[in-house]
Amino acid sequence: MSEHSGEPLLEIEGLEKYYTTNDGFLDRFLGGQEEVKAVDGVDLEIHEGETLGLVGESGCGKSSLGRSLVQLTEPTGGSVKYRGTELTELSRTEMRDMRTNIQYIFQNPFASLNPRLTINDIVGEALDVHDILESDDADDRSESERRNERVEELLETVGLKASHANRYPHEFSGGQRQRIGIARALAVEPEFIVCDEPVSALDVSVQAQILNLLNDLQEEFNLSYLFIAHDLSVVEHVADRIAVMYLGNIVETGDPEEVFSGDSHPYTEALLSAIPEPDPLWEGDRVILEGTVPSPIDPPSGCRFHTRCPKVIPPAEFEFDQDAFHSVFTLRLRLADAEAGLESVLPEPSEAADVPTAIRDEFGIPQQLQDARAEEIVSDTLEEIATDDVESARERLESAFTTPCETDRPTLEAGEKHHPIACHRFDAAYADAVDEPPDALAPEIDR
């Protein structure tokens, strides 16, 4: 576990990776290009000897972040400093030299090893490329002898046998192949390794062995890791600090205890809920996350999570309880989804006694809202839906119920009593609008 004093090993500021889709000539000609904002302004620090766990659902941008911070793919903006050296400004040759410090372990141990090369060639290649084997006058062995010996030593370091050097990748199991990938990364004696979902392609029984190996290697060689996973339960066992990513942004950072047992970002709570047997440390509400990550081509305004957030903040001018507002807001979003049409809000005809009642049941909107004005707007809207006037219903809900979560972008900031969380619920400016403020904002007297 690292002490966070002194300069960080890696310092990332405003990192961006935008991909351009439809790169063909015709698309450019017809203006059909679109930008995928996979990483959109990320600030992070990684300290020496530390494991930073990066989590988020598939498609949130984790690999794009990992790859662009080690320059495997060129970032489109921002800065990455490694021991003070700006990596984004290095030439190819300079970056190649830098790779003796920085390595990457890939998710898929089946695809990342060349099937035509022996293990000796695969691991030894890294030694050749970087000219790692220094000549030593006192050593009278040939270079190839020293190279073979070093490969065998590396294989033993990762729990394989020296005799495996002459075999081919297909002769190994998934776990063994990942060990080979790790040996290849270690060959250049790096200080920092991005481990990109290193165990998610492996059998559960093998996962723990690889995690233990990475842990042991970290201690032995004082390695620092960025450990990418979509599953918080994996990260929990290896990370000294956790960063949670959603749609190109980091929404929370903290040590595991803060993230698991304290107040968290609603997205983190949802990820924690998804763990089959939630951690005993975890005391949050069970949150069911609906839908999938929206497209990074046109991400939601304000807080990017607001379209799926069960704790989306009600507008200050109404007396809404949290769940009732979330239900009304979900109806609003469903209506706004032009493609979805009326079918997506109307319940099955057989169940529909009368349309407004059935829609309330379907979306969990109380039959009578607490706030009289809100109730009037919602019942008028439901009548409009019943008479097929969807456009007007859509406009009515949109103009009446706006959440600060869609208009203001939250920033990733620590408060007096909480670790960095990018959510308005942790912002004192919105404390009045939040039904049950997080502990960090609750008045002391209420405890």
Ligand X SMILES: Nc1ncnc2c1ncn2[C@@H]1O[C@H](COP(=O)(O)OP(=O)(O)OP(=O)(O)O)[C@@H](O)[C@H]1O
Residues that bind ligand X (CB under 6 A): 19, 21, 36, 38, 56, 58-64, 230, 296
Bridge partners for 45 per DSSP: 11
CB of 300 to ligand X, least distance (A): 14
CB of 212 to ligand X, least distance (A): 23
Q: Give whichever of 38 and 324 is closer to ligand X, judged by the CB atom.
A: 38
Q: Give whichever of 32 and 341 is closer to ligand X, judged by the CB atom.
A: 32
- Residue in 333, 301, 314, 289 with CA at minimum distance from that of residue 402: 314
Would you tell me how many other CB atoms lie within 10 Å of the CB of residue 410?
23
How far is 23 from 308, CA to CA, in rounded Å?
A: 31
156's tokens: 């033993």
How far is 166 from 21, CA to CA, in rounded Å?
A: 42
- Helix (H/G/I), strand (E/B), else coil: 106: coil
- Residue in 41, 117, 125 with CA at minimum distance from that of residue 75: 41
Q: Give whichever of 64 and 176 is closer to ligand X, judged by the CB atom.
A: 64
Helix (H) / strand (E) containing 20: strand 10-21
Q: Give whichever of 22 and 407 is closer to ligand X, judged by the CB atom.
A: 22
Q: Give whichever of 194 and 328 is closer to ligand X, judged by the CB atom.
A: 194
Whether the Cβ atoms of residue 329 and residue 313 lie closer than 8 Å to each other? no
Sign of CA dihedral 165, 171, 173, 178: positive
Whether the Cβ atoms of residue 161 and residue 155 lie closer than 8 Å to each other? yes
330's tokens: 């979900």
Q: Give whichever of 70 and 331 is closer to ligand X, judged by the CB atom.
A: 70
CB of 34 to ligand X, least distance (A): 9
Q: Give whichever of 64 and 224 is closer to ligand X, judged by the CB atom.
A: 64
CB of 112 to ligand X, least distance (A): 14
CB of 64 to ligand X, least distance (A): 3
- Helix (H/G/I), strand (E/B), else coil: 13: strand
CB of 124 to ligand X, least distance (A): 29
First to last CA, the chain: 33
Q: Give whichever of 62 and 177 is closer to ligand X, judged by the CB atom.
A: 62
Q: What share of the chain is helix, strand, coil (3-state, %, to 5)?
A: 40, 15, 45
CB of 54 to ligand X, least distance (A): 9
Whether the Cβ atoms of residue 380 and residue 397 lie closer than 8 Å to each other? no
CB of 20 to ligand X, least distance (A): 8
